[in-house]
């Protein structure tokens, strides 16, 4: 009788010791019967899937190639990450809902790109974005605005694509609206993170003064006491262009130096500039 009681007690202890392991395995695997519902609550936004036609367009205007690393913020069922992987890119989805993460992994395997994708259960505001060359998202305007300072600090040339929602006064470099194969949420917006060029630059014997508002530039170019107001100043990643009294400057920015060419009077000249103050 005593032996039987001890055995029963050991079985009870064993069952309780296995319980956390069982729960942990279930949490890691996700709910196999899980089916997401359009409009279901999330941490920052409700879940509404981006139409596949718009996913394709977003990645098209971002010019995604096999050399890219795509991060999708709020990756939902994984469709954007999976589509990027099918284009040959390395792709990661950041999603707060663990069931959606598990579903995305299953969808990626079914699509044959399980080895090219990664899905991470994480808070998008705490995620390192610095290695991405392309960031995709379908978030709300206030979330975009909260992310904007971090995005502007990314490497110049990083492409940002949003479904429908803007960055407020940071105007998109490109906006495309689908007219076919899409009935709602049909607008893709692209931004290219601009280099930071605010400040004073020494350009040959002259001085270039630049004021930057996102990708748009204003400023003056002064030679031998003559000040020229710049027009058509713009940045596209590290590429810079501006017009100084009919002379068209085009070049690239590399930190505190710029180099490029000038088209003036039917001729092409080289130019370079060095920043002397911010």
Domain spans of the chain, in order of start: 52-192, 199-277
Say which range, 40-44, 113-117, 169-173, has the weakest mean pLDDT: 40-44
DSSP annotation of 155: P
Query: Do residues 135 and 73 touch, judged by C-beta distance below 8 A?
Result: yes
- Tell me, what's the pLDDT at 10? 36
Q: Give 265's strand partners.
A: none
Q: How far apart are CA 129 and CA 97, in angstroms?
A: 19
Those residues with Cβ within 8 angstroms of residue 111's Cβ, 6 or more apart along the chain or in another chain: 82, 85, 86
Segment 23-46 shows an average pLDDT of: 57
User: How many whole angstroms from its chain centre is CA 124?
Assistant: 11
Please tell me the total number of residues recorded for the chain in this structure: 278
Same CATH topology for 52-192 and 199-277? Answer: no
- Tell me, what's the pLDDT at 37? 63
Tokens 């940071």 -> residue:
170
- Tell me, what's the pLDDT at 4? 38
Is the pLDDT at 18 greater than 50, yes or no?
A: no
Q: Spell out a b/e string for 199-209, using b for 16 or more CB atoms within 10 Å of the CB, else e.
A: bebebeebbbb
Tokens 């605010």 -> residue:
198
Tokens 């003036």 -> residue:
264
Query: Do residues 114 and 105 touch, judged by C-beta distance below 8 A?
Result: yes
Q: Which of 167, 173, 127 is nearest to 146 (CA)?
A: 167
- How many angstroms separate the Cα of 39 from the Cα of each of 4, 44, 45, 74, 146? 55, 12, 9, 14, 22
Is the pLDDT at 1 greater than 50, yes or no?
A: no
Place domain 52-192 in its CATH homologous superfamily: Vaccinia Virus protein VP39 (3.40.50.150)
Q: Does domain 199-277 have CATH number 3.30.300.30?
A: no
Q: Tell me the per-residue pLDDT of 111-167, one tens digit each, with 9 for 90 and over.
A: 999 999 999 999 999 999 999 999 999 999 999 999 999 999 999 999 999 999 999
Q: Please report how many Cα atoms fall inside a 13 Å half-sphere around the Cα of residue 238, on the Cβ side.
A: 14
| Burial class for 61, CB neighbours closer than 10 Å (0-12, 13-18, 19+) | middle
Q: Tell me the per-residue pLDDT of 246-256, one tens digit each, with 9 for 90 and over.
A: 999 999 999 99
């Amino acid at each position: 009788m005593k032996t039987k009681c001890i055995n029963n007690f050991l079985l009870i202890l064993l069952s309780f010791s296995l319980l956390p392991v069982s729960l942990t395995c279930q949490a890691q695997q996700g709910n196999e019967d899980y089916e997401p519902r359009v409009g279901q609550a999330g941490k920052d936004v409700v879940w509404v899937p981006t139409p596949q036609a718009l996913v394709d367009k977003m990645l098209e205007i971002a010019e995604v190639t096999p050399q890219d690393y795509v991060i999708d913020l709020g990756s939902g069922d994984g469709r954007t990450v999976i589509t990027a992987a099918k284009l040959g890119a390395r792709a990661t989805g950041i999603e707060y809902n663990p069931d959606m993460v598990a579903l995305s992994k299953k969808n990626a395997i079914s699509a044959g790109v399980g080895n090219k994708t990664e899905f991470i259960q994480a808070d998008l505001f705490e995620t390192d974005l610095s290695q991405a060359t392309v960031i995709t998202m379908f978030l709300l305007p206030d979330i975009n605005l909260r992310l904007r300072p971090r995005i502007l600090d990314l490497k110049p040339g990083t492409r940002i694509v949003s479904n429908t929602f803007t960055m407020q006064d940071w105007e998109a470099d490109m906006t495309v609206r689908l007219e076919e194969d899409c009935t709602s949420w049909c607008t893709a917006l692209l931004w290219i993170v601009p280099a930071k060029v605010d400040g004073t630059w020494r350009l040959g014997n002259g001085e270039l003064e630049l004021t930057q508002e996102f990708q748009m530039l204003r400023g003056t170019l002064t030679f031998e006491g003559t000040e020229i107001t710049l027009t058509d100043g713009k940045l596209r990643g590290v590429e810079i262009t501006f017009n100084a009294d009919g002379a068209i400057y085009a070049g690239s920015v590399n930190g505190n130096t710029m180099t490029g060419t000038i088209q003036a009077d039917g001729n092409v000249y080289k130019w370079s500039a060095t920043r002397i103050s911010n």
